[in-house]
Structure 1
Amino acid sequence: MVTNNFSYNVVSIFSGAMGLDLGLEKAGMKVAVCVEMDKLACKTIRANSNIPVIENDINKITTDEILTTASLSKEEVFAIVGGPPCQAFSTAGKRLSLQDFRGNAIIRYLQIIEEISPPYFILENVRGILSTPLNVVPPEYEKEYNHIVEMQGSMMYFLWQEFSKLGYQLSFTLFNSANYGVPQARERVIIFGSKKGRIPLPTPTHSQTGQETGKKWTSLKEAFQGLENVKQDYLEIPQRIKKYLTYLKEGQNWRDLPPEVQKEAMGNSLELVGGKTGFFRRLSFSEPSPTLLTSPIMNATLLAHPTEMRALSVQEYARIQQFPDNWKFVGKLTDIYKQIGNAVPVGLGYVAGRTLIDFHEENYDAKREKNNIIPYSRYLDCCDFEFIPKFKNQVIQKEQVKLSLF
């Protein structure tokens, strides 16, 4: 085990309401600066901490400004962390597409990591990053990537290749937060980048039944303990939805409505494909919450209280995302829901932070992935050691088909 006096200084980009950052600090890191362009999120950061905040678009900020504000040299940065939006690149015209590429937040994130060159980074994102296509590339990238343009997953492969050029080994998967003690079945991709070797993915600590891990998923009942006498602030559920919620009990949704009521309640939505489990949904006290969204009262993704005739409150939202009870969110009710709903669960941030520190200190099980018996995700081929070989095989097959046509 290696120990030293290295300060675990973190540069946080796309900080939001600091869910990821709170987890990292709980793990033993120090957030030296936050970069965020949302004004209300910046006010929330300032209302709860003395961490310096750069309130601006990441594409308008220099690396020198980030380091100066953090009072750090490049050598003092342990990790850069954040969840840049991963929008597909535009194909609407050559000039526009190049501007779109170079102005893309995830590309700027890569550039900042290149310029500061920390030993580690964490990139958090939604599941869609695993399927997002690299729609267009500038001329300097054409020889290397033109053959994979429009392929699903080519964005992730592009990042894999570009970070590799900078000396980073990547490990990633789609994590289910509930597998790490978060009272929410929230799925997020976390990419670990390291200049000191590939970081094995952290082993799940919880499971649905608890048989494999010794710990069951954390339930809403556990998450809400102590909130019984706290005033709840929430958005009103539309009256039309309330009408049908009266039929439903804890853990039920539109499928549990009386057959003669289902058609009336669902209307044309009844013909939609998929399970439609979010319609007229009451949550269950005995299970984790589904993914929190930026509003709890959307028709197809309703987050209704298990037993009361209301939506989940912002206080309950904060508990599910594991924010401290004294964390102050600035803005109107809709703004607060948005800040909490967009956050990384604090518990998942903690797991990510401990994963980096334990690896750095050589205090980890190198065989943990091989011995893991809990799937990281319900989806296949989400781990780097599955995703990258599969993508490369798809590229080979595509080239073979192309050659066969000549």
Structure 2
Amino acid sequence: MINVVDFFCGCGGTSAGLRQVGMNIVAGIDNDSDAGKTYAANFPDSTFLLKDIRNFSPSELGEFLVDLPGRLLFAACAPCQPFTKQHTQKKEGDARRELLDHFHKFVDELNPDYVLLENVPGLQRIARNEGPLARFLALLGTREYSFDLKVISSQDYGVPQMRKRLVLIASRLGAIAVPAPTHGVTQKKPHSTVWDWIGDLPAIRAGESDDTIPNHRASNLSELNKTRIQNTPVNGGRKDWPTDLTLRCHEGHSGHSDVYGRMAKDRPASALSTRCISLSNGRYGHPTQDRAISVREAARLQTFPDTFQFFGSMNSMARQIGNAVPVKLAEAMGRAVNDHLAKVSTSASSVTNG
């Protein structure tokens, strides 16, 4: 058995993926109360700790880990906004940049068997020699962990979304590697598409919901934006509109071409953000219906099952979903950890029997 503590757990994307491969989710830690309601409802056998990691001690967490049989895994996906492309030039004053440093003390003092870290690729580009990731890798070296660090594409692991992520897997039980892609042109399985995941959901209108599917609810649109989406072809965007519908801020501006765009049916979606149910904040228009994607459609594109329900306002649920680690990505990493433990356990047994 591998026992998991999910740091910065949010609504629980990582926990859901690791639970799917048979791990025991002991606790999730986050300071977002709305995400905590979602987490607690979906992980009733686990403990949600509404804590700011900066004011939480390893000894407090250790109380939840006493006498647990099996191995221990710490997962962490610290808030990634300070390390996105839009923030790479900002000064170091953002306190979220230091959250990974606060995670250090838990690894250092509680010595988990495995560590799983997920973030945006920008985390490794900022102050490579002395930034938060460099300091964390130095800690792993000091504590004699083996680790592998790679920038991967979520769509290569069955996620219907073009989302690049930085993934680190570490183990103090021996050499370990980030698993190879399972989907794509050179793999046995093709990339999942938007329509693979949302094509069977009941049709709804902007501002409406379908109560037969949890959280299948779409944001309302102004009459002008309804006209805009009606004038947007499949896989089209604002450049397809007649001139009288163009926003003044977009006149003569070629950037931000995804805003007000429709998703394509036959390919993965663009990366979902914390505003993934808003037509004006990305290519979040439904492929065929005149609205933005619903909360449930966004959740499916993050590979959450329909049994996983979200709580809070529409904006809060969108934020929880956009911040989540895609479930199938976490599942792939969890499977790699399971395989690694099985391998080292077999090796140890062979040595003992020999």
Normalised-by-shorter TM-score class: 0.7 to 0.9
Unaligned segments of structure 1, at least 5 residues: 1-6, 135-147, 364-406
- Quick one: which of 278, 288, 305 aligns to 2:258? 278
Distance 1:241 1:52, change over 3 A: same
- Quick one: which of 100, 111, 122 aligns to 1:117? 111
TM, length-normalised to structure 1:
0.73
Match of 1:189, SS state, is: strand
Q: Superposition pairs for residues 87-126 of structure 1, below 5 Å?
A: 87=82, 104-126=98-120
Q: Is the 8 A contact 1:120 1:192 kept in 2?
A: yes
Q: Superposition pairs for residues 193-272 of structure 1, below 5 Å?
A: 193-207=170-184, 210=185, 212-228=186-202, 230-231=210-211, 232-257=216-241, 261=243, 265-269=246-250
Instruction: Tell me if 1:14 matches 2:21.
Output: no
Aligned-residue Cα RMSD (Å) equals: 2.6
CA offsets 1:290-322 (integer angstroms, 9 cap, x no match): 111112326341401011111100111121112
Q: Superposition pairs for residues 312-331 of structure 1, below 5 Å?
A: 312-331=293-312
Instruction: Tell me if 1:34 matches 2:18.
Output: no
- Amino acid aligned to 2:262: R
Unaligned segments of structure 2, at least 5 residues: 84-89, 204-209, 345-354
Q: Is the 8 A contact 1:10 1:32 kept in 2?
A: yes
TM-superposed CA distance for 1:91, in Å, is: 5.3
CA distance in 2 between partners of 1:190 and 1:162 (Å): 17
Q: Is the 8 A contact 1:11 1:77 kept in 2?
A: no
- Quick one: which of 136, 143, 165 aligns to 1:166? 143
CA offsets 1:42-100 (integer angstroms, 9 cap, x no match): 11122222211211111121212212134546x854210020125479656xxxx9xx5
Query: Which residue of 1 is the match for residue 326 of structure 2?
Result: 345
Query: Which residue of 2 is the match for residue 402 of structure 1?
Result: none
Tell me how many residue pairs correspond in the alignment: 325
Match of 1:304, SS state, is: coil
TM-superposed CA distance for 1:112, in Å, is: 0.6
Question: What is the percentage of aligned positions where both structures have the same residue?
Answer: 26
CA offsets 1:332-390 (integer angstroms, 9 cap, x no match): 11111111111111100100101111122228xxxxxxxxxxxxxxxxxxxxxxxxxxx
Instruction: Tell me if 1:184 matches 2:161.
Output: yes
TM-superposed CA distance for 1:161, in Å, is: 2.1
Instruction: Tell me if 1:50 matches 2:45.
Output: yes
Query: Which residue of 2 is the match for residue 291 of structure 1?
Result: 271
Q: Is the 8 A contact 2:279 2:285 kept in 1?
A: no
Instruction: Tell me if 1:156 matches 2:137.
Output: no
Query: Which residue of 2 is the match for residue 379 of structure 1?
Result: none
Distance 1:225 1:279, change over 3 A: closer
Q: Is the 8 A contact 1:121 1:193 kept in 2?
A: yes
Instruction: Tell me if 1:64 matches 2:59.
Output: yes
Distance 1:180 1:35, change over 3 A: same
CA distance in 2 between partners of 1:214 and 1:237 (Å): 41
CA distance in 1 between partners of 2:281 and 2:35 (Å): 27
TM, length-normalised to structure 2:
0.83
CA distance in 2 between partners of 1:226 and 1:253 (Å): 24
Decide which moves more: 164-173 or 23-32: 164-173
TM-superposed CA distance for 1:277, in Å, is: 3.2
Decide which moves more: 245-254 or 227-236: 227-236
TM-superposed CA distance for 1:239, in Å, is: 4.1
Which runs of structure 1 show a deviation greater than 6 angstroms over 4 or more consecutive aligned residues? none
Q: Superposition pairs for residues 68-83 of structure 1, below 5 Å?
A: 68-72=63-67, 76-83=70-77
